[in-house]
Amino acid sequence: AEAHEWPRPSYATVYSVIKALDPGLVTLAHEGPKRYAEQFELLYRREASRPNEMWQADHTPLDMRVYDERGRPARPWLTIILDDYSRVVAGYALSLHAPSSIQTALALRQAIWRKGDPHWSVCGIPETFYNDHGSDFTSKHLEQVAADLHMSVVFSTAGKPRGRGKIERFFNTVN
């Protein structure tokens, strides 16, 4: 103001301008785009309205050690296929190898088929198979499986696993 020979603003004027700033703009300026997105970005929640409408899939290393076929300690991987509507585990696979399209396909096969246990009644082919951008989910193998089964594959936004909280909650409970 002095450089332009304007009248100096009062404290109350500066305060009212600062208070009128959009909270999102202030967050973006002070804390960056990641924090802004966490607090202010609009979310689209994917939620199924009936069983088998949408299944989610993911993997997690289990918080335990087992011995592999050579007697060495190893950390097993758990692959889960979860019905989004009921949160029932439709299928799973355990492996001592890192997640792959084969492991995912085996868990999906188990999820689709009828189970031997009459209390575990979830089965069938989902309309939508929702997962992240892992190489096992974006593989040609899984693409072919989805085409053969006439189910659509939907991926969460890269780096933003929103809408996948149900399966993440299940993994937290298991671990």
Residue in 93, 168, 77 with CA at minimum distance from that of residue 131: 168
Q: Which helix (H) or strand (E) holds 167?
A: helix 165-174
Residue 124: the pLDDT is 94
Q: Tell me if residue 11 falls in helix, strand or coil.
A: helix
Structure token digits, residue 34: 């990641």
Torsion 170-150-148-51 (CA) sign = positive
Q: Are 107 and 79 in contact (CB under 8 A)?
A: yes
pLDDT at 159: 65
User: Mean pLDDT in runs of 10 for the chain (175 residues)?
Assistant: 91 93 92 86 74 93 94 95 94 93 92 92 93 85 91 80 77 89
Q: How far apart are CA 79 and CA 106, in angstroms?
A: 9
65: number of Cβ within 10 Å: 10
The answer to whether 59 and 105 are in contact (CB under 8 A) is no
